[in-house]
Amino acid sequence: MYDLAIIGGGPGGYVAAERAGAAGLKVVLFERKSLGGVCLNEGCIPTKTLLYSAKVYNYAKTGDHYGVYVSDPSFKYDEIVARKNKVVKKLVGGVKAAMKGNKVEVVAENATIQGRDNEGVKIEAGGNVYAAKNLLICTGSEAAVPPFPGLKEAGDVIVTNREILDLTERPEALVVIGGGVIGMEFAAFFSTLGTKVTVVEMLPKILGPLDDEISEMLQKQYEKRGVEFCLRCKVTGIEGNTVVYEDPEGKVCRVSGDKILVSVGRRANLQGFGLENIGVELALNPAGRPYGIKVDEKMKTNVPGVYAAGDVTGFSMLAHTASREGEVAVNNILGKEDRMRYNAIPGVVYTNPEVAGVGLTESEAKAKGIDFKVVKLPMAYAGRFVAENERGEGICKIIVGAKYHEVLGVHMLGNPCSEIISAACVAIETEMTLEQLQEVVFPHPTVSEIIKETSFTIK
Ligand code: NAI
């Protein structure tokens, strides 16, 4: 009998397994593909590795901005992809070692929940049955691919975040359907390498949930580099290597590419592992369709001893959310008081420049009817930013409550805001006010000082 069975070895599942194993629980983890899940194998890590190659290439091309001359910079696409594979392999090895180090039994099979009795949950995998007192479901999500007319016939012209990682050649032209996080990161990668990129997005802005001003600034920077944006444009079909869409006036337009990336969101994996056999309740969207497993703030489902964490819950589909949710589940299994909070979850888009935000945006604060103030400064107020970002533009915005100046949200554009945003996460998590933030000593010279500088502009 195991204390905890975990289905899915992504950042929800493997982090939970590590914590539970370290706390002395007897843990079995089922992963049918590769440890690390989407994040490590076909998401966060491979894309950041590719994007770093593009960044290095861009440094070589723009060295003259810094007085450094590189003659005729070039790249080998297959070597960029090979390095990505090497990085993924190394990190998957790291997860394997962490499982071993914490005495987690890893079963490399497809797991199916068989049912539940007084003793716990029974799971079948590879012909064996495993019994566990608790179950944590971390089966993740997959790319949502709408049934656009002509999509099937287009064959391998159509790619999702998974197939695009292993192209053997760089496409000359790429059409991206959906200007969200995945769409923008691939638009950034391929446009830097010289691909003609067109982004077709049905909303009036790219990166929908992000701060409006920041998403507009980022769009302008990519427009200058030749990326074309078709906003308020809804895709209606595919004709071979051509995307058909309706422009804001209702006119039918077409744009072609060697590849078409479909990045219009992700869907929780709710099927194929026997969820129905234990009667777990699903969360429904306003149209009554299930979008994830319903959990409470302790990550508990309606079935005693059964928890869920990560993308399978269907709302905050981010690796770091998954890991924290997994930890909350494990802490509750261990009898510790812990609950999930979503007000300080950072979001980062690894374009160049990067975008990072945590907490409420201005529009969210408005929609919630909160009495708030906004303070902001260009990134150039941080000396280090100027030193390292020739011709770079950026911004730091802080949203605070109007009366007490408690930090509600921080949003930034400019490198390396993906690293700096953690300071803002701590400020929100610990309910700091701007005045308290002003008393913190930030290292000089760092770009992070922009947060402190911005905090002093409150009136
Ligand atoms: P997304 O939800 O970020 O963006 C999808 C976009 O597609 C939206 O802007 C939507 O308006 C648009 N769209 C939908 N249907 C369309 C249509 N028919 N025509 C034109 N546009 C259409 O989804 P995405 O980019 O696929 O990412 C999926 C998930 O993965 C997200 O939850 C994201 O947070 C996560 N992710 C996070 C990353 C990070 O943290 N850096 C990196 C990559 C993914």
CA distance 19 to 33: 22
pLDDT at 321: 98
Give the nearest ligand 1 atom to 206 CA.
9
CA of 85 to the centre of ligand 1 (A): 24
Residue 445's domain is classified under what CATH number?
3.30.390.30
**Domain shared by 328 and 188, yes or no:** no
pLDDT in tens, 316-331: 999 999 999 999 999 9
Q: Is 158 in the pocket of ligand 1 (CB under 6 A)?
A: no
Strands 2-7 and 128-137, how do they pair? parallel
**Domain shared by 138 and 10, yes or no:** yes
CA of 411 to the centre of ligand 1 (A): 19
Q: Which of 52, 182, 228, 425 to mutate to test the pocket of ligand 1 (most atoms within 8 A of CB)?
A: 182
Range of the domain at 179: 152-264
Is there a domain that residue 288 lies in? yes
**Domain shared by 136 and 161, yes or no:** no
In this prediction, residues 294-302 reach a mean pLDDT of 98
Q: Is 295 in the pocket of ligand 1 (CB under 6 A)?
A: no
- Strands of the 173-177 sheet, one edge to the other: 158-159, 259-262, 173-177, 196-200, 228-230
Chain CA centroid to CA 450, Å: 24
Protein residue with least CA distance to atom 22, ligand 1: 178
pLDDT in tens, 61-96: 999 999 999 999 999 999 999 999 999 999 999 999
What confidence category does residue 184 fall into, taking pLDDT thresholds of 50, 70 and 90?
Answer: very high
Q: Is 202 in the pocket of ligand 1 (CB under 6 A)?
A: yes
444 is catalytic: yes
CA distance 148 to 235: 8
**Domain shared by 162 and 227, yes or no:** yes
Is there a domain that residue 221 lies in? yes
Q: Which phi and psi (to 5°) does residue 231 adopt?
A: -95, 160
**Apex 420 CA angle, 192 and 37, nearest 5:** 65
What confidence category does residue 119 fall into, taking pLDDT thresholds of 50, 70 and 90?
Answer: confident
Residue 211's domain is classified under what CATH number?
3.50.50.60
CA distance 189 to 199: 13
CA of 151 to the centre of ligand 1 (A): 18
Cis status of the peptide bond prior to 445, with omega within 30 of 0 = yes
CA distance 385 to 454: 14
Q: Which of 181, 245, 252, 316 to mutate to test the pocket of ligand 1 (most atoms within 8 A of CB)?
A: 181
pLDDT in tens, 257-275: 999 999 999 999 999 999 9
Q: Which of 51, 202, 324 to mutate to test the pocket of ligand 1 (most atoms within 8 A of CB)?
A: 202
In this prediction, residues 98-114 reach a mean pLDDT of 98
Q: Is 265 in the pocket of ligand 1 (CB under 6 A)?
A: yes
Cα→Cα distances 184→181, 350, 371, Å: 5, 9, 32
Model confidence, pTM? 0.96
CA of 280 to the centre of ligand 1 (A): 27
Residue 214 has pLDDT above 90, yes or no: yes
Q: Is 207 in the pocket of ligand 1 (CB under 6 A)?
A: no
Choosing from 245, 264, 283, the residue where a domain stops is 264
Q: How many domains does the chain have?
A: 3
**Domain shared by 252 and 210, yes or no:** yes
Choosing from 333, 358, 385, the residue where a domain stops is 333
Chain CA centroid to CA 424, Å: 18
Q: Is 45 in the pocket of ligand 1 (CB under 6 A)?
A: no
**Domain shared by 207 and 320, yes or no:** no
109: which DSSP letter? S
